[in-house]
């Protein structure tokens, strides 16, 4: 991200869109994870962070979406329908979005299947630039795909109520095969301005998230928000693949999502300016 007059383009963007400034002590008041959850010991459970943070208030003009702690646990989600459905899909399922996956994640191991996608591979524009120019973000909704209704129900019943001043920006199954690793990184661009939530659908005891030098083992069927603006990585040293449902929630202060149910409809809208 290019630095401009001491501030990044992201910071300037949020200032223009949000129209308010954060108090310098804001993140200093955020409660941290309990002291006993120390670095170097993977936690059998990512315990609930006892914080007064309201997800609706984290858009700040001083920088990206740093939620002030490594992880927040929101509670249980009934994933039985998704887990059973994934067990029945064909091997081709994980190749539905090969091009989009490569464009968004490079050579990261594993596949991904997008149900809501703000950056399909045929769009040349970035979601961040569209939001800045129009206040909107065009999102492709793949409602005809297997398991869409089950994904939509979880988003509607469990994720969206936690973020009432947000729209769904991206929803995907993300696979990390056994023995593979996602290298340490920080998310940037639009992903630094959203709430990134994870729901483990299939995992094992040897899958470890490292977030800001702390190790976590996430439980199946629990909704978490992860701090993707700090350095984080994942390793799957187990014998089975890891599958998470990721749902990215877009704060209204950044932009509003506009949904299209076909690639053709979205492409035409982008060419004609709606």
Please list the residues that pair with 222 across neighbouring strands: 76
Residue 109 vs residue 252, higher pLDDT: 252
Confidence of residue 56 (pLDDT cuts 50, 70, 90): very low
Looking at residue 158, the DSSP 8-state letter turns out to be I
Exposure of 146 by Cβ count < 10 A (0-12 exposed, 13-18 middle, 19+ buried)? middle
pLDDT at residue 109, as a whole number: 72
Does pLDDT of 154 surpass 50? Answer: yes
Q: Is residue 35 assigned to a domain? A: no
Q: What is the mean pLDDT of residues 122-138?
A: 91
Q: Is residue 32 assigned to a domain? A: no
Domain count, the chain: 1
Query: 247 is written with which tokens?
Result: 């749902």
Does pLDDT of 169 surpass 90? Answer: yes
Q: Is residue 173 assigned to a domain? A: yes
Q: Is residue 31 assigned to a domain? A: no
Return mean pLDDT, the chain: 80
Does pLDDT of 59 surpass 70? Answer: no
Q: Is residue 62 assigned to a domain? A: yes
Q: Is residue 204 assigned to a domain? A: yes
Nearest CA among 254, 236, 232 for reference residue 244: 236
pLDDT at residue 46, as a whole number: 52
Lowest mean pLDDT among 21-35, 141-155, 205-219, 257-271: 21-35
Residue 221 vs residue 106, higher pLDDT: 221
18 is in which domain, residue-wise?
A: 3-24+42-272
pLDDT at residue 96, as a whole number: 84
Assign residue 62 the CATH number of its domain: 2.60.120.330
pLDDT at residue 107, as a whole number: 67
Q: Is residue 225 assigned to a domain? A: yes
Q: What is the mean pLDDT of residues 2-8?
A: 40
| 243-263 pLDDT, tens digit each | 999 999 999 999 999 999 999
Q: Is residue 36 assigned to a domain? A: no
CA gap 53, 225 in Å, rounded: 12
Lowest mean pLDDT among 5-19, 214-228, 256-270: 5-19
pLDDT at residue 110, as a whole number: 80
Exposure of 145 by Cβ count < 10 A (0-12 exposed, 13-18 middle, 19+ buried)? middle
């Amino acid at each position: 991200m290019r630095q401009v007059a001491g501030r990044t383009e992201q910071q300037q963007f949020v200032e223009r869109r949000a129209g308010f400034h954060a108090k310098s002590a804001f993140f200093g008041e955020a409660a941290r994870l309990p002291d006993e959850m120390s670095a170097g010991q993977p936690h059998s459970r990512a315990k609930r962070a006892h914080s007064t943070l309201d997800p609706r208030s984290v858009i700040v003009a001083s920088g990206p979406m740093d939620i002030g702690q490594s992880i927040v646990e929101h509670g249980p989600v009934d994933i039985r329908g998704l887990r059973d459905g994934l067990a029945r899909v064909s091997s081709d399922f994980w190749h539905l979005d090969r091009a989009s996956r490569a464009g968004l994640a490079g050579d990261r191991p594993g596949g991904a299947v997008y149900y809501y996608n703000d950056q399909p591979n045929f769009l040349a524009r970035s979601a961040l630039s569209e939001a800045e120019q129009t206040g909107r973000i065009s999102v492709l909704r793949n409602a005809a795909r297997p398991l869409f209704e089950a994904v939509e129900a979880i988003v509607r019943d469990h994720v969206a109520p936690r973020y009432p001043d947000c729209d769904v920006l991206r929803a995907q199954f993300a696979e990390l095969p056994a023995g593979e690793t996602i290298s340490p990184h920080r998310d940037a661009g639009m992903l630094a301005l959203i709430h990134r939530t994870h729901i483990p659908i299939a995992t094992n005891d040897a899958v470890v998230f490292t977030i800001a030098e702390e190790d976590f083992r996430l439980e199946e069927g629990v909704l978490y928000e992860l701090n993707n603006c700090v350095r984080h990585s994942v390793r799957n040293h187990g014998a089975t693949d890891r599958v998470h449902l990721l749902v990215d929630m877009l704060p209204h202060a950044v932009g509003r999502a506009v949904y299209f149910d076909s690639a053709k409809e979205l492409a035409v809208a982008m060419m004609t300016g709606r």
